[in-house]
Structure 1
Amino acid sequence: MKNKVLPIVMTTFLAAGLIAGCSNKDNGSETSNNVSKTETSGKTDVTGNEEAALTSIPLPITKESITIDYWRANDAKLTASLENFGQLAAYKKKEELTGIKVNWTHPPLGQQADQFNLLVSTNDMPDVIYYNWATAVGGPEKMLADGRIIRLNEYIDKYAPNLKKLIDSDSDIKKQISLDDGTIYMFPYIRSEARKLNGTAGLVLRKDWLDKLNLPVPKTIDEWHTVLKAFREKDPNGNGKKDELPLTGKDGAGTLNRLNDFAPAFGVLGGFQFKDGAIVYGPLQPEYKQFIETMTKWYAEGLVDPEIITNDGKAFDYKITNNLAGAYSGGVFSGMGKYYNLMKEANPAFNLAGAAWPIGPAGKSYATFNLGGKVLTYGEAITSSANKDKIKYIVQWMDFNYSPQGHDLFNFGIEGESYTKEGDTIKFTDQIMHNPKLTYDQALAAYALSIMDGPMDQDSRYLDALLAYPEQKEANTIWMGADDSLTLPGLRFTEDESRLNASVMTPISTYVSEMITKFITGKTPITEYEKFTKTIQSMGIDQIAKIYEDSYKRYQSR
């Protein structure tokens, strides 16, 4: 599962003006919307006299023949059995219920960013684009200012009762779905049950190794050192060789940034964070030096896989499935369930345990990422190319996913085929859990969006139903309980702020990554740490801290 739970501080442009307003002129017809450019406020006016705001989505939405042109990246889990999202069982059922057809376009896997940039540079865009808008050049603000996508607030008020209910009933969703000026531009991927759904990744250890050595799951930095040292010296894989890699991971970037997972034990993160009520840059804090000193010691003692800086997915899998890896960062699916399934025949004793973020001098189990993010940066936006007479139907079609019926459909699939209900509990059928041709995630991807991502409110019951091993459920419970008070929410930058951030932070981030690796591997002595921090300051970090402070103030006032 993609762990899209990790919040991104988005370096996006603030729009100078918004586009694509809409005014309704009542003529007694269902297709009386007229879209016009609004050069003054950039707002969308749908306040005609034609009909009252919807309280529910009518099914079918319209008896007219309507087709929506829709662009989104494909997903490898879906393409294991289907060609496109139109073949997904939930979307097929949605077409049957709403009466609206969809013409799907998918860029080749891995080429979505390039294809998106080409797409939005033309005047012939589809009606709807689903995308990770945090990665769009200039962000959604620039897309709005350039007339690529339209403002949706007034459309949501009038034609999207289900999304509007979510927004009105949850202040976090209302704040996170909006840009700094209050604009809503997409029907998003939502996790209203944020902590549980975001707390699906953390530190994982070989529980069978711990049991063999009579060691508990470590809770503190000192206990972690004891465990990793035992993994290195006491032959827990039982082959008579000192080949164990106590702590490994996959970075592939030629740095030791992966070890930042242990930095919160010292009350610091590898980037911007909260500290004593202020926003600061973690590597400049004295506690970060303590973290680096600890990691340097671990590395010198052979407790860290030296190939952690180059491991790709294949190398990482090899080390775990060949009983070489003792601990690593992973998720409940890709870091636990995957390996249980791979190892259940080769090594029935294989067992894993999720560990809380370690407690160190800071005295708390701090998370490395924000667990409270309810609105992700993925979502579907309506482009300015959409026919003005179709927009209200598109909005209703999009809103269906957040209705009770659409919620179950896009989270679980087809009742009786992909899932059953026992009271309020969801259980996936053998078609999903024991498919003879597909893995469980591939099988569910043929029915629902919950295992991938999409415009929906993800339901944590899908997670419960897929966690086949009790150790996965225990890990989820542990990880969701972490203290995330060091982490920042998703912030937005103005055009000037974004430009400055990009020019200053890119060289700083590169320099910090390089120096972390040099310190930990011993290539640069820790006595040069003060020189390291002064260099960061000389590169303009204080300007960026001010940007973050200003952006956070705007976030609070949304």
Structure 2
Amino acid sequence: MKKRSLWRKAVSLGMSAALVFSLAGCGQGSTDTSGNAGTSGSTEAETDARETAEQAADDGEVITLKGFTMGNEPASGMDAFYEQLDAMTVKDLGIKVRFDYIPWGDEKNKINLNIASGEYDLYVGGNFSDYKVMATKNAFLDLKPLLSEVPDLVAHYSVVSDKTLESCEIGGKLYGIPQFGKATDSVMAGEGFMYREDLRKKWGLPEINSLETMEQYLYKAKDEYPESSVVMDNRIWSAVWNILAAGKYLELDSYMNTPYTVVAADDPYTVIDRTQTPEYKTMLEYMTKWYKDGIIDHDILAASANEGNKIAELIKADKKVTATNSPAWSLTATVNEIARNNPEWEMGWFDYGFGKAPIYLPSVSSATCISINPKCKEPVKALQFIEKAHTDQAYYDLLRWGVEGENYNRQDGNITTAGIEASNVKPSWTGLVDGYMETEIPSENAYWQEQMDATRVTPEEFSPLDGFIFDASSLSSETAALESVKAQYMTPLLCGVTQDMDGDYENVLAQLKKAGIEKYIAEMQQQLTAFQEKKAAD
């Protein structure tokens, strides 16, 4: 798509979003934010909507859809949240929606169990789950035939390209509505290393801008904070890989979904065995050294798939001073809480890829998605609820932030969580975040915000891999065997748990070959070549 067309569409949507926001603001201006939705502060329209919801419930006319989302349920505000949500959904769609919360940590297994239970209508999934694998097994409803029922949603996703939703398809089917990043003037901080900059200065260490300077900080942190392990995340290998590989390789998916393969940045249509690259071997050398020296926790293999919450709590309690495997956006709440309780701390950020790897327009092909159960009794209404969440500012703000006065406040018209207890900050409905509906909230830590702003750019092109989704449905036996090899042989080596790195590495290569890695790569190459040819033809 030409830049002029992209800009014209972005401006058009921006004006529409501003209009929706202003209208939503008028409707919310008199809304009681104390959680007592039945008080005299309610508007006549809100009262009518509430009475409609109550009457419909009494008559047994309203079907309740059930969904799950990630994070911890806020300590307060949920009664008011559902009261406000019901007032809108019953009036607009004739349904109610209720959410269960899944705390981060072993989330993949928990999500799989929730989907297997069959009790949910609305699912969420992304690179932290088996979303793409389960999609190929028809675990989710194909939404493509229903898109005519949600024209506003389709128009909304067409702001960047008419093929935005198409690029999220798997095998010609649309299994979820993806999270939607804004294409212009965006903070592009990705995954990186969070640390205490004030301590770095105190300890006389060099500025952290490389693997070597990061390593110096890790070793000093081990000496100064011996009560907790420096590295507690078993994905630490990916941090070192990302530093070593930045600008050299592109991921075909996420490293969690395709840990065996990459492509070269200058040859993006030829699949490479990641495990046989020189950077992979160098990464293993760091892992072995760090585990031996006690930088990596010696019980690392017992860690969950995501120790982010545990690590954040230790950092806030001044018992730990590093986080190695968190994307910048996921640290927002932690940094804000630190700013309130320890304003003198300077939270530093070393981004593993920014400035070294190319920056592309946001892709939805690998984004977190909201999906619908194929057995949902009201699939159209479920999809229309997702449409409302992405196109109606009142819906978006409620589902994204919660109840004003309970879960967030407004300051000069902008949303802020300042003054809200950390336990009351509501996690967004996972997969909802939409750059074109979002109110950007500056961090309460000015130093942190300065670092985030340093990554603010406006990308001008899509990744050459945008829209490529590997379909491994024909490789069920191979993928199962490869997963077994990863669990039994690769993961210990990737965490540095080895007495003979070279020998264990050669054994991993042998086990991968035995499990069918060559067939796996050949199938991926065939699909990637077909993708390249189709892209050239289009």
TM-score of the aligned structures, taking structure 1 as reference length: 0.64
| 3-state SS of 2:158 partner | helix
**Post-superposition shift, 1:328?**
3.4
Matched, 1:249 2:231: yes
Contact 2:482/2:517, CA 8 A, preserved across alignment? yes
Report the residue type matching 1:330 in the other structure: S
Write the letter of the residue equivalent to 2:478: L
Bigger Cα Rg: 1
How does 1:178-197 map onto structure 2 within 5 Å? 178-181=169-172, 183-193=173-183, 196=186
| Amino acid of the structure 2 residue aligned with 1:100 | G
SS in 2 for 1:453: coil
Name whichever of 94-103 and 194-203 sits farther off: 194-203
Distance 1:526 1:316 in 2: 34
Flag the 1:306–1:384 CA change in 2: closer, same or farther, 3 A.
closer
Point out where structure 2 has 5 or more consecutive residues left out of the alignment: 1-48, 250-254
Q: Who is 1:321 aligned against?
A: 317
CA distance in 2 between partners of 1:410 and 1:325 (Å): 33
Name 1:291's counterpart in structure 2: 283
1:129 aligns with 2:118: no
**C-alpha displacement of 1:512:** 1.4
Looking at structure 1, the residues matched to 242 and 464 of structure 2 have their Cα atoms a distance apart, in angstroms, of: 8
- Aligned counterparts, 1:146-157, within 5 A: 149=141, 151-157=142-148
Distance 1:113 1:285 in 2: 33
Residues 385/92 of structure 1: CA separation in 2 closer, same or farther (3 Å cut): closer
The residue that corresponds to 2:490 in the other structure is 512
> Equivalents in 2 of 1:521, 1:381: separation in Å?
41
After superposition, residues 38-437 of structure 1 pair within 5 angstroms as 67-73=62-68, 77-81=72-76, 87-88=81-82, 91-95=85-89, 98=92, 100-102=94-96, 104=98, 106=100, 113-119=112-118, 128-132=121-125, 135=130, 139-143=134-138, 149=141, 151-157=142-148, 159-171=149-161, 173-181=164-172, 183-193=173-183, 196=186, 199=189, 201-231=191-221, 243=226, 248-251=230-233, 256-267=234-245, 271-275=260-264, 276-277=267-268, 278-301=270-293, 303-306=295-298, 308-310=300-302, 314=310, 317-318=313-314, 321-326=317-322, 328-332=324-328, 335=331, 337-338=333-334, 341=337, 345=341, 349-357=344-352, 365-366=356-357, 372-373=363-364, 376-381=367-372, 383-384=374-375, 386=377, 395-405=383-393, 406-411=395-400, 418-420=408-410, 422=412, 426-428=414-416, 432-435=417-420
Aligned to 1:453: 430
C-alpha displacement of 1:421: 7.4
Change beyond 3 A, Cα 1:283–1:408: same
Per the TM alignment, residue 357 of structure 1 is displaced from its structure 2 partner at its CA by 1.2
Q: What CA deviation, in whole Å up to 9, does each residue of 1:447-488 have, x standing for no partner?
A: xxxx342556355844x3262112332443466779997998
Residue identity opposite 2:390 in structure 1: Y
* Partners of 1:392 and 1:452 in 2: CA distance: 19
Distance in 2 of aligned mates of 1:532 and 1:116: 32
Displacement, 1:175?
A: 3.6
Partner of 1:514, secondary structure, is helix
The CA deviation at 1:71 is 2.0
Q: Deviations over 1:353-385 (max 9, x none)?
A: 0112179xxxx7359999744663431426455
Q: Give the structure 2 partner of residue 539 of structure 1.
A: 515
Aligned-pair CA distance for 1:102: 1.4
Q: Distance in 1 between matches of 2:280 and 2:196?
A: 28
| Partner Cα separation in structure 2 for residue 410 and residue 420 of structure 1 | 16
Distance 1:317 1:416 in 2: 25
CA-CA distance at 1:393 after TM superposition: 5.3
Alpha carbon RMSD of aligned pairs, Å? 4.7
The answer on whether the counterparts of 2:493 and 2:504 sit within 8 Å (CA) in structure 1 is no
Distance 1:488 1:283 in 2: 23
Distance in 2 separating the partners of 1:554 and 1:192: 29
| Unmatched runs of 5 consecutive residues or more in structure 1 | 1-59, 120-124, 238-242, 446-450
2:345 aligned partner, one-letter code: F
Alpha-carbon distance in structure 1 between the residues aligned to 2:212 and 2:375? 57
Which whole-Å deviations, capped at 9, do the CAs of 1:179-208 have from their partners, x for residues lacking one? 232x32444443345995774542112111
How many residue pairs end up in the alignment? 450
The answer (yes or no) to whether the contact 1:379–1:454 under 8 Å persists in 2 is yes
How far the C-alpha of 1:287 sits from its partner, in A, is 2.3
Q: What is the alpha-carbon distance in structure 1 between the residues aligned to residue 280 and residue 516 of structure 2?
A: 19
Which whole-Å deviations, capped at 9, do the CAs of 1:224-249 have from their partners, x for residues lacking one? 3444455556x5x7xxxxx487x823
Q: CA contact under 8 A between 1:249 and 1:316: conserved in structure 2?
A: no
Identical amino acids, percent of aligned pairs: 14
Amino acid at match of 1:515: L
Higher helix fraction: Structure 1 or Structure 2? Answer: 2
Read off the aligned partner of 2:334 and give its amino acid letter: K
SS in 2 for 1:433: coil
Aligned partner of residue 289 in structure 1, secondary structure: helix
Q: Is the 8 A contact 1:68 1:394 kept in 2?
A: no
Q: Which amino acid aligns with 1:118?
A: S
Contact 1:201 1:479 in 2 (8 A): no
Aligned to 1:45: none
> CA, structure 1 residues 371+260, in 2 after alignment: closer, same or farther (shift >3 Å)?
farther
- Structure 1 window deviating more from structure 2 (480-489 vs 171-180): it is 480-489
Contact in 2 for aligned 1:336/1:352 (Cα 8 Å): no
Q: Which amino acid aligns with 1:473?
A: Q
* CA–CA distance in structure 2, aligned partners of residues 394 and 340 of structure 1: 34
* AA aligned opposite 2:263: F
Distance (Å, rounded) in 1 between the aligned partners of 2:376 and 2:409:
38
Say which SS state the counterpart of residue 81 (structure 1) adopts. coil
SS, match of residue 71 in structure 1: strand
Q: Which amino acid aligns with 1:427?
A: I
What is residue 55 of structure 1 aligned with on the other side?
Answer: none
Task: Give 2:123's aligned amino acid.
Answer: Y
* 548 and 370 in structure 1: CA distance in 2 versus 1, 3 angstrom threshold: farther
TM-score w.r.t. the length of structure 2 is 0.66
Q: Write the distance in 2 (CA, Å) between the matches of 1:454 and 1:249.
A: 28
Q: CA deviation at 1:161?
A: 2.0
* Structure 1 residue 262 displacement after superposition: 0.9
Moved more, 505-514 or 403-412: 403-412
Separation of aligned partners in 1, 2:168 and 2:97: 27
Shift of 1:524: 1.0
Classify 1:211/1:550 alpha carbon distance in 2 versus 1 (closer, same or farther; 3 Å).
Answer: same
- The one-character-per-residue Cα deviations of 1:236-291 (angstroms, maximum 9, x if unpaired) are x7xxxxx487x82333xxxx542320112332665421124322232221221122
Q: Which amino acid aligns with 2:321?
A: A
**1: CA distance between counterparts of 2:322 and 2:183?**
32
Q: Deviations over 1:506-533 (max 9, x none)?
A: 324531112334xx35511436644543
Counterparts of 2:504 and 2:373 in 1: how far apart (Å)?
52
